[in-house]
Amino acid sequence: MTVTADVIARLKVAAGPKGFSEDPQEIAPHLTEWRGKYHGTSPLLLKPQTAAEVSVLIAICNETRTPVVPQGGNTGLVGGQIPLGGEVLLSLSRLNRIRALDADGMSIVAEAGVILADIQRKADEAERYFPLSLAAEGSCTIGGNLSTNAGGVNVLRYGSARDLVLGLEVVLADGRVLDLLRTLRKDNTGYDLKQLFLGSEGTLGVITAAALKLSPKPRSRVTAFVAVRGPEAAIELLSLLNGETGGLISAFELIPRIALDFVTAHIPQTYDPLHVPSPWYVLLEATSGSNDALQHVVEEAMGRALERGLVSDAGFAASDAQREALWRLRESISEAQKSEGASIKHDVSVPIKDVPAFLEKGCAAVERLVPGARPVPFGHLGDGNIHFNFSVPKGTDDATFLARWDEISRAVHDIVHEFHGSISAEHGLGVQKRDEIARYKSVAELGLMRTLKRTLDPNNILNPGKVVTV
């Protein structure tokens, strides 16, 4: 589409001298997502600093039927934040104030453009804890996290992004500001409207601020890197540890040997923390308050796991530096995989008990399609979310492998569906999975999604073509 010159002029006046850019060099970083799979175009970058400014800009877009794509830190992985049709781009990065922090009430109010790591740091300074944690936390923004219902490594204990929200401030498609910015733990006065916007990827409204739950700051933390014989043993280990600690396991990440090899080969200052190679590993973390016995409890449970043959070796972090080194192994997998050539990736979830069967069936299916494809399945075993990735076979060029993306994904997602799983566990639908979801969702589900879109955005200006078509 083409945004007319008069609309651009109106938006520039409304945004003010510092609130827009037409400089191609400034706009360029906003037009490509991290994997390089999606590339967009936009004639105008809007940079509002307040919800009121967002309101005015969105109202103009609605009046003139001008599509607009909201964007946070541009760390999304399904193209949801990219203006693929020449839409106006709305960056929320200047809405970056933390408006309030109530340590006693265990809440923090942050604007959409606040970097996730800054919220974590602010909470820590107040002796509190914000548990949302993911690899991109140094650059992703809370507005984007909520718009995609981000998951991360602590979902097992604390839930996904939507579970951490008390209230929202949202600009609707017609420019009205919906003030749901409450910090109440109980509010049973009708529909929970905020849930409509969490995970909707900016297609129903633009999140400008959020009231978030804080948790007690952990005083005791146990981090371990554990060699397991396979995914079945890892699930048994998770059950054992949760029982022994009373549910204090906050992270439980499955890592195959190939992923560890990629990381130690391509990421500087990384190393194999155990002496003998294992086909599978688990990186786990347990946290609690002033519980000096936590380390002992986890070590005792690990001893029982060794006796039962679930675990062959384990290394415990003895310092913050060692803990960070262990987590670097996990958080660097995607970066390291880039150095091994092209990869085809899936963000899926199945019931935890079915993860081993899914891995076996999924890997076999891809091997039949592309012999030699290297499976690199890793991720959040504690909540059933596996990043089911495949690296290009050795000796095959990247383009030939990537040309099979749709075919491979269809096979993988059909198997996910057989296990009553989800083809998008934490990344969202964006444009990548927008059409494919019709194969797996019911007519009633899709119909209701379209009804919500048409009701809240009748002119289809908010991130059009993403999540659902109308």
List pLDDT tens digits, range 381-428: 999 999 999 999 999 999 999 999 999 999 999 999 999 999 999 999
Q: What is the DSSP string of 408-430?
A: HHHHHHHHHHHTT-BS-SSS--T
Indicate the burial class of 293 (C-beta count within 10 angstroms; 0-12, 13-18, 19 or more).
Answer: exposed
CATH topology agreement for domains 220-335 and 341-438: yes
Domain residue spans of the chain: 5-91, 98-216, 220-335, 341-438
407: amino acid identity, one letter: E
pLDDT value at 222 more than 80: yes
CA 445 to chain centre: 23
- CATH of region 341-438, choose from 3.40.30.10, 3.40.50.720, 3.30.70.2740, 3.40.50.620: 3.30.70.2740
**Which residue type does 85 have?**
G
Mind listing the pLDDT tens digit for each residue in 347-370? 999 999 999 999 999 999 999 999
Whole-angstrom distance, CA of residue 222 vs CA of residue 352: 23
> For domain 5-91, is the CATH number 3.40.1390.30?
no
- Structure tokens, 221: 């933390």
Strand partners, 110: 98, 210
> Within 13 Å and on the Cβ side, how many CA atoms surround 74?
20
Torsion of CA 199, 205, 211, 217, to 10 degrees: 30
Across the range 317-323, mean pLDDT stands at 96
pLDDT in tens, 69-83: 999 999 998 999 999
What pLDDT does residue 2 have?
84
- pLDDT-above-70 percentage for the chain: 100
pLDDT at 291 over 70: no
Q: What is the pLDDT of residue 47?
A: 98
Residue whose pair of structure tokens reads 């919800």 in the numeric block:
51
How many whole angstroms separate alpha carbon 284 and alpha carbon 299? 12
Q: Average per-residue pLDDT in the chain? A: 96
Task: State the amino acid at position 363 in one-letter form.
Answer: C
For the chain, give percent helix, strand, coil, nearest 5. 35, 20, 40
On the CB side of 323, how many CA atoms lie within 13 Å of its CA?
Answer: 12
* Helices of type H across 281-402: 294-307, 320-331, 333-338, 355-369, 398-402
Residues 6+ apart with CB under 8 A from 16: 53
Classified by CATH at the fold level, domain 220-335 comes out as Alpha-Beta Plaits (3.30.70)
CA–CA separation, 284 and 302 (whole Å): 11
DSSP at 380: E
Matching CATH number, 98-216, of 3.60.10.10, 3.40.50.720, 3.40.50.300, 3.30.465.10: 3.30.465.10
289 membership: H or E segment, kind and range: none
Q: What's the whole-number mean pLDDT along residues 292-304? A: 92
CA pair distance 421, 63, nearest whole angstrom: 40
For residue range 60-116, what is the model confidence (pLDDT) as tens digits?
Answer: 999 999 999 999 999 998 999 999 999 999 999 999 999 999 999 999 999 999 999
Q: Which residue has the tokens 């050795």?
A: 394
Q: Which of 359, 334, 466, 344 is nearest to 406 (CA)?
A: 344
The residues near 125 (Cβ < 8 Å, ≥ 6 apart) are: none
Share of the chain above pLDDT 90, in %: 97
Residue 257 predicted with pLDDT over 90? yes
Q: pLDDT digits over 144-186, tens only?
A: 999 999 999 999 999 999 999 999 999 999 999 999 999 999 9
CA-CA distance, 207 to 172, in Å (whole number)?
A: 9
